[in-house]
Amino acid sequence: MSFIKKPRIDLPGQLTNEIGLLKRDYEGVLSTLCAGCGHDSITAAIVQAFWELSMPPEKVIKLSGIGCSSKTPAYFLSGAHGFNSVHGRMPSVAVGAHAGNRNLVCVGVSGDGDSLSIGFGQFGHAVRRNLNMLYIIENNGVYGLTKGQFSAAADKGSKSKKGDINQWKNIDAVSTAISMGSSFVARSFSGDREQLVMLIKAGIMHPGCAIVDVVSPCVTFNNHAGSTKSYTYTRDHYHPASQTDFIPPASEIKVSYAEGTSIVVDLHDGSKLLLKKADSGYDATDRSRVMHYLEQQRARGEVVTGLLYINAELPEMHNIYRTSATPMKDLEFVKLNPGSEALAKLQAGMR
């Protein structure tokens, strides 16, 4: 039904958020993805998260690369500027956009082909710069628009729709990001709305590059028996390692957990993340133990989800550069231009 214009229907009794916007105000145009696509669930989670955060849509920029996943920024936050870039290069556009205006809230949507094959380098360097953005990888293990080739995220032994068995080891976005020194790494499942919304909120508020790898089944090319990225397989092997609660600034933590079963992470704007451990002993702030745990679970074929690693203290790009607090694009020209007198003085040394 993608040929119809999405109707705007005002229903009585709809809730508004703190800035008086309805959830609908965070939606975009009608999705043209296949019915049942995991990506549409992620879009809905993004809408929910931004609405819950009461974020003014115009403060947000949404960027993507190429592929099914990268079409989705059109489907949420129509009040935000969007940038559907070239294949695998979304991170560099985000670097530039954030360099030019550090006040923008940046959401990047990518796919497994976009980030783990053609854009593997730029993915790594967004992490390395700790670019302040939410970086979502909508991971279905296949190339959908070109009709079902395996991606680099496909597990070894996974079966394609045509019956081929994947011979190659997968590149795992989560362990790769952690080993590259990422400050925030999470995995989720498009079928777990509650967890996903919470992780998206946490990722938006995290002052650095928040990688959220979301298993998002492709109903057309990768949802059959033998696939390790299908709804069935993911549900069967779904394994939350921790539960995250996002606590907005000036709000109190109301739930109490027994000592040793939860961690509180302070974010710079006064908000907090409360991590409740599902597996005893899991500590999302201890990198080497996280890597060990992930390796154990991988060997068992488990899809570990939740906020898997966080370090909110790592400086983001602008902190390292010591950039002006005023965004570059708002600096007055007189502040940028040294003037004729300075030019004359400078040239005295060129004779």
Partner 1 sequence: MPDNGVNDFVLKIGTVNGTGSASANGLLLKALFRMGIPVTGKNLFPSNIQGLPTWYGIRVSAKGYMARRKRVDVMVALNAQTYQKDMDNVSPGGFLVYDSTWPRERQLNRTDITILGVPLAKLCNENFSDARVRILMKNIAYVGVLAALLNIDTEILQALIEETFASKPKLVESNLKAISLGFNYAKENFSCPLPVHAETMGDNSKHIMIDGNSAAGLGCVYAGATVGAWYPITPSTGLMDAFKAYCKMFRIDEETGQKNYVIVQAEDELAAAGIVLGANWVGARAFTPTSGPGISLMSEFIGFAYYTEIPSVFFDVQRVGPSTGMPTRTQQCDIMLCAYASHGDTQHPMLLPANPYECFEMAVSAFDLAERLQTPVFVLSDLDIGMNDWMIPELKWEDSYRPDRGKVLNSADVDKLEKFYRYLDVDGDGIAARTLPGENAKGAYFVRGSGHNKHGMYTESSEEYKDLVDRLLVKWKTARTLVPKPVLMRAEKETGIGIVAYGSSDGAVLEALDELRDQGIHADYMRVRAFPFNGEVTRFVEQHETIFVVEQNRDAQLRSLLILETNTDARKLIPVLHYSGMPIPTSCVVEGICEHLCAKDVA
Per DSSP bridges, beta strands 142-143 and 149-150 are: antiparallel
**Cβ distance to partner 1 smaller for residue 124 or 191:** 124
Binding segment (CB under 8 A) for partner 1, from list 56-64, 165-173, 196-204, 303-311: 56-64
Binding segment (CB under 8 A) for partner 1, from list 145-153, 224-232, 261-269, 320-328: 320-328
CA angle 232, 237, 242 (to 5 degrees): 125
Please say whether the beta carbons of 246 and 195 come within 8 A: no
Please say whether the beta carbons of 147 and 221 come within 8 A: yes
- Quick check: 268 binds partner 1 (CB under 8 A)? no
Residue from 94, 188, 84 nearest 133 by CA: 94
Compute how many other C-beta atoms are within 10 angstroms of the C-beta atom of residue 191.
17
**Interface map 72-111 toward partner 1 (x if CB under 8 A):** -xx---xxxxxxxxx--x-xxxxxxxxxxx-xx-------
Residue from 144, 147, 166, 140 nearest 155 by CA: 166
- Quick check: 121 binds partner 1 (CB under 8 A)? yes
CA angle 336, 127, 202 (to 5 degrees): 95
CB of 178 to partner 1, least distance (A): 19
- Quick check: 124 binds partner 1 (CB under 8 A)? yes
Joined tokens for residue 15: 């809730």
Joined tokens for residue 56: 């003014």
- Quick check: 329 binds partner 1 (CB under 8 A)? yes
- Quick check: 61 binds partner 1 (CB under 8 A)? yes
- Quick check: 18 binds partner 1 (CB under 8 A)? no
- Quick check: 204 binds partner 1 (CB under 8 A)? no
CB of 346 to partner 1, least distance (A): 8
Helix, coil or strand: residue 70: helix
**Cβ distance to partner 1 smaller for residue 129 or 201:** 129
Joined tokens for residue 32: 């043209």
Work out which of 122, 140, 230, 243 binds partner 1, going by CB under 8 A. Answer: 122
What phi-psi label fits residue 178: left (phi over 0), alpha (psi between -120 and 50 degrees) or beta?
alpha
- Quick check: 337 binds partner 1 (CB under 8 A)? yes
- Quick check: 134 binds partner 1 (CB under 8 A)? no
- Quick check: 59 binds partner 1 (CB under 8 A)? yes
Binding positions for partner 1, rule: CB under 8 A = 56-59, 61, 63, 73-74, 78-86, 89, 91-101, 103-104, 121-122, 124-125, 318, 321-325, 327-329, 331, 333, 335-340, 342-344, 346-347, 350-351
